[in-house]
Amino acid sequence: MGLPNASEDLSSEMEVDAFRRLFPLRYFERHLTESIRPDARPLRKARDTTIALGAVASADGSALAKIGSTTMLAAIKMEVMTPSLESPDEGCIAIDFHMPPICSPIVRPGRPAEVAPVLSKQLSDTITSSGMINLKELSLVSGKAAWMAYLDIYCLDADGALFDAALLSAVASFSHLQIPVVSLDYDGKIVIMSEEQKEENSETKPVNKEKRKLTLSTIPFSLTCILHKSYILADPTAEEESIMETLVTVVLDSSGQLVSLYKPGGSVLVYTSAVQDCVALTRQRVKELQNILDDAISGMEID
């Protein structure tokens, strides 16, 4: 913005890479006027998205989600807790989002990224308010024992739209979750039942024979968009996020309810029409993501 004329003149002589580094905003705006992005995407198209279920063998449920090169690994470990007095029939979910130093040049060991706790909070808010999981299904013995589902999401590669990828991996790992069959032992502790015990009908009875999978009622999916002037760019990369600062994240669930509309500041104001556009884009994206998730699940069942 500082030297618009100077950069205009230079752009014809300078190498593309140098121009991209020196005048990133102008570089992007030149693309935007042609309705294309530097990675050859149309403005409102999301990157290729894949889900792989069961990526972590040591966890009870896990998923690897990739949006472009942004990669998230989510895994759930089930532990037993004593439910609180107010809600004796409910389990609990603890969500933590980690950005290890491998994921981005900005994160250094010992100094966790600023956004990590914020994203953790956003993710657990979204999953709680979507009502996707009925906490009653996590109950084992009323008032005595219930499941605590520890969901840990690791960002392996950070290239923009972190929340979208993290939410997708979280949702996918819940749909992959297989709750172990457990029984109550004589000390009142919950123990895992071995294969032989299940078959030989011993006096120890499983406490959760039917409740092996969670019923996910409405699944939330999200789309992050960049607003720049009157342009809307869906699913930004890290480079785009660093240059154009106004981000809007819309979360819709599979029944079309608005779970979250998140816009923390940013230099561009959103008007009603832009909100409507973002919501419409998210609607399309929810369908895409739902299909990708369904494919991943049916792919697992065949195996």
Footprint of other proteins on 86-105 (CB under 8 A): 92-96, 98, 100-105
What is the spatial distance between Cα 97 and Cα 151, in angstroms, rounded to a whole number? 8
Among 141, 150, 231, 232, binds other proteins (CB under 8 A): 150
What is the spatial distance between Cα 97 and Cα 100, in angstroms, rounded to a whole number? 10
Q: What is the DSSP string of 55-111?
A: --TTSSEEEEEEETTEEEEEEEEEEEEPPPSS-TT--EEEEEEE--GGG-TT-BTTB
Among 20, 38, 41, 128, binds other proteins (CB under 8 A): 128
Answer yes or no whether residue 114 interacts with other proteins by CB under 8 A: yes
> Which C-beta is closer to other proteins: that of 12 or that of 94?
94
Among 6, 36, 118, 300, binds other proteins (CB under 8 A): 118
Considering CB under 8 A, how many residues would be counted as binding other proteins? 90
Among 4, 48, 209, 271, binds other proteins (CB under 8 A): 271
Answer yes or no whether residue 258 interacts with other proteins by CB under 8 A: yes
Among 264, 294, 295, 299, binds other proteins (CB under 8 A): 264
- Backbone dihedral angles phi then psi of residue 217, each to the nearest 5 degrees: -70, -65
DSSP 40: S
What is the spatial distance between Cα 54 and Cα 169, in angstroms, rounded to a whole number? 11
Answer yes or no whether residue 39 interacts with other proteins by CB under 8 A: no
Answer yes or no whether residue 211 interacts with other proteins by CB under 8 A: no
- CB of 298: closest distance to other proteins in angstroms? 25
Among 15, 272, 302, 303, binds other proteins (CB under 8 A): 272
Of residues 227 through 246, those in contact with other proteins by CB under 8 A are 230, 238, 246
Helix (H) or strand (E) holding 220: strand 220-228
Among 75, 165, 171, 172, binds other proteins (CB under 8 A): 75
Answer yes or no whether residue 265 interacts with other proteins by CB under 8 A: yes
Of residues 9 through 28, those in contact with other proteins by CB under 8 A are none
DSSP 206: B
What is the spatial distance between Cα 163 and Cα 83, in angstroms, rounded to a whole number? 30
Buried b (16+ CB within 10 A) or exposed e, 200-225: eeeeeebbbeebeebebeebbbbbbb
- CB of 261: closest distance to other proteins in angstroms? 5
> Which C-beta is closer to other proteins: that of 118 or that of 295?
118
Answer yes or no whether residue 122 interacts with other proteins by CB under 8 A: yes
Q: What is the token pair recorded at 46?
A: 């999301």
What is the spatial distance between Cα 65 and Cα 53, in angstroms, rounded to a whole number? 9
